[in-house]
Amino acid sequence: MGLLSPLNSLLFHTMYDVAIIGLGCAAYTAAIYTARYKLTTLLVGESEGGMGMTAAEVGNWPGDQEVTGPDLMERFKNHALSFDDVTHTIARVEKAEKMEGGFRLTYQSGETAEAKTLIFATGSNKRHLGIPGEEEFSGKGVSYCATCDGFFYKGKTVAVAGGGDSAVEGAAIIAQVAAKVYLIHRRDAFRAEPFWIDRVQSKENIEFVLSREVVEVLGDGKVTAIRLNEPFNGSDTLAVDGFFIEVGTIPAVALAEQLGCTLDAKGHVAVGANMGTSVPGVFGAGDVTSGSNHFEQFATAAGEGCVAANSVFSYLQSRH
Ligand SMILES: Cc1cc2nc3c(=O)[nH]c(=O)nc-3n(C[C@H](O)[C@H](O)[C@H](O)COP(=O)(O)OP(=O)(O)OC[C@H]3O[C@@H](n4cnc5c(N)ncnc54)[C@H](O)[C@@H]3O)c2cc1C
């Protein structure tokens, strides 16, 4: 593993073969492949492990019947950083621009890095509901990560909003410690994996609140209740100590947009079968892209990272 100190980067302004932006499943996988292709690789991202760090229980990573997200990401990271050709930097990238022979990245610190090609593996951010009280009580009972913060609610009553995997898994995990969990979904059926639906259905302390939306978070210094758009069991408020919002994600496309990469109708970076974007020399991998039919999983993110790395290798070879 190479270390990029600010002094080094000033003295030797390396033009990497590839800069991979992200430190999640897709990015680590791409780095393993680019390193094995002997490409000098800059692996730069803000949060180590990415979204994978919030997966409490992973039962579908091939080869591991059960593993936690953090353990899996630690193994990915150690593998990626075991190569001399991989330079690992923890930084937020604020700007991506085209330059002669490649691309320039500017970090939040003002430092810059240059690479002949880019792989965006920037994942996504949690979607907010945008309702009154949400921002005011964020961190004071409102959370966007049920599996991260659920354990603070031992013996308490909480609500989880959402109908996908994150919400249903989150409710199941919190129900292990909380006294009562309301699982609130605006539709009348969940779209989560049947595995997780079975799990929540078997928990006596989870109550489903279907065909309802949360319209306001109420509190006094911290969350005390949530208001629904329609009454449930005769009341439009539910008294809760915590409210977990797990209503999907928004792809982190800001940097790709700066370079003019085309987005698809769902706002993801549009990629072809080779994970190439609309901008030559720029590739994408993982949750941020339109790839894998928008099926956002560890296995698909890893697969896309692998394909993107192979495409970078072909692209660089074709330019020689
Ligand atoms: C609660 C939960 C449970 C899950 N459980 C499972 C499961 O059981 N099985 C499964 O297959 N999948 C699961 N998933 C989905 C899986 O976690 C994701 O599909 C996968 O982690 C996506 O990886 P990624 O590399 O594309 O993105 P991410 O892991 O989101 O990584 C994105 C990276 O980009 C970085 N980044 C973004 N913008 C910038 C910037 N401007 N500058 C620098 N760095 C930046 C971030 O810091 C991060 O390091 C789960 C997801 C959640 C939320």
Give CA–CA dist 63/19, Å, rounded. Answer: 29
How many A from CA of 48 to the centre of ligand 1? 10
Distance 284 CA to ligand 1 centre (A): 14
Q: Which of 190, 218, 245 is the last residue in one of the domains?
A: 245
The rounded distance, in Å, linking the Cα atoms of 162 and 196 is 13
> Do 119 and 195 lie in a common domain?
no
Q: Are residues 148 and 101 in the same domain?
A: no
Of the three residues 212, 245, 278, the one that is the final residue of a domain is 245
Is the minimum distance from the CB of 217 to ligand 1 under 6 angstroms? no
Which pLDDT score, from 0 to 100, does residue 156 have? 98
Residue 10 has pLDDT above 60, yes or no: no
CA of 169 to the centre of ligand 1 (A): 16
> Do residues 253 and 286 lie in contact, with contact meaning Cβ atoms separated by under 8 Å?
no
Q: Please state, for a pLDDT cut of 70, what percent of the chain lies above it.
A: 96
Is 149 noted as a catalytic residue in this protein?
A: yes
Q: Looking at ligand 1, which residue's alpha carbon is closest to its atom 15?
A: 297
Is pLDDT above 50 for 59? yes
Q: How far apart are CA 260 and CA 133, in angstroms?
A: 36
Same domain, 121 and 258: yes
Is 270 inside a domain boundary? yes
Is 261 among the residues known to form the active site? no
Pair (32, 114) in one structural domain:
yes
* Residues 69/148, Cβ–Cβ less than 8 Å: no
Same domain, 27 and 87: yes
- Asked whether residue 1 carries a pLDDT value surpassing 60, the answer given is no
How much is the pLDDT for 2? Answer: 47
Question: Does ligand 1 come within 6 angstroms of the Cβ of 121?
Answer: yes
Does residue 3 register a pLDDT over 50?
Answer: no
Mean pLDDT, to the nearest integer, of 85-106? 97
Q: What average pLDDT does this structure show over 48-54?
A: 95
Is residue 40 included in any domain, yes or no? yes
Contact between 61 and 298 (Cβ < 8 Å): yes
One domain, residues 11 and 110: yes
Closest Cα partner for 19 from 6, 4, 7? 4
Per-residue pLDDT band at 147 (split at 50, 70, 90): confident
List of residues 6+ apart from 60 with CB closer than 8 A = 297, 298, 299
Residue 300 lies in a domain: yes
Q: What is the pLDDT of residues 287-313, one digit of tens each?
A: 999 999 999 999 999 999 999 999 999
Which residue lies with its CA nearest to atom 5 of ligand 1?
A: 55
Q: Assign residue 224 the CATH number of its domain.
A: 3.50.50.60
pLDDT digits 0-9 by tens, 12-31:
568 999 999 999 999 999 99
**Model confidence at 155: pLDDT above 50:** yes
Q: Per the domain annotation, does 135 fall within a domain?
A: no
Residues 118 and 15 in one domain: yes
Number of domains in the chain: 2
Ligand 1 pocket test, pick from 298, 300, 306, 307 with the greatest ligand atom count within 8 Å of Cβ, gives 298
Q: Give pLDDT, residue 146.
A: 86
The protein residue with its alpha carbon nearest to ligand 1, atom 35, reads 22
25 in active site: no
Range of the domain at 206: 142-245
Find the 52 Cα to ligand 1 centroid distance in Å: 5
Residue 123 alpha carbon to ligand 1 centre in Å: 5
Please indicate, yes or no, if residue 69 is contained in any of the structural domains.
yes
Instruction: Tell whether 208 and 307 lie within a shared domain.
Output: no
Mean pLDDT of 114-134: 97
Q: What is the pLDDT of residue 6?
A: 47
Same structural domain, 25 and 119: yes
* Same domain membership, residue 228 and residue 271: no
User: Same structural domain for residues 254 and 241?
Assistant: no
Mean of per-residue pLDDT scores for the chain: 95
Task: Please enumerate, as own/partner, the contacts of 149-157 that have beta carbons within 8 Å and a separation of 24 or more.
Answer: 149/242, 149/244, 150/174, 150/177, 150/178, 150/244, 151/177, 152/242, 153/177, 153/178, 153/241, 153/242, 154/178, 155/179, 156/241, 156/242, 157/181, 157/182, 157/239, 157/240, 157/241
Cβ 55 under 6 angstroms from ligand 1: yes
* pLDDT given for residue 320 in this prediction: 79
Question: Furthest-apart CA pair in the chain: how many Å?
Answer: 72
Q: Is the CB of 169 under 6 A from ligand 1?
A: yes
Report the alpha-carbon distance of residue 229 to residue 236 in Å, rounded: 7
91 in a domain, yes or no? yes
CA gap 109, 67 in Å, rounded: 35
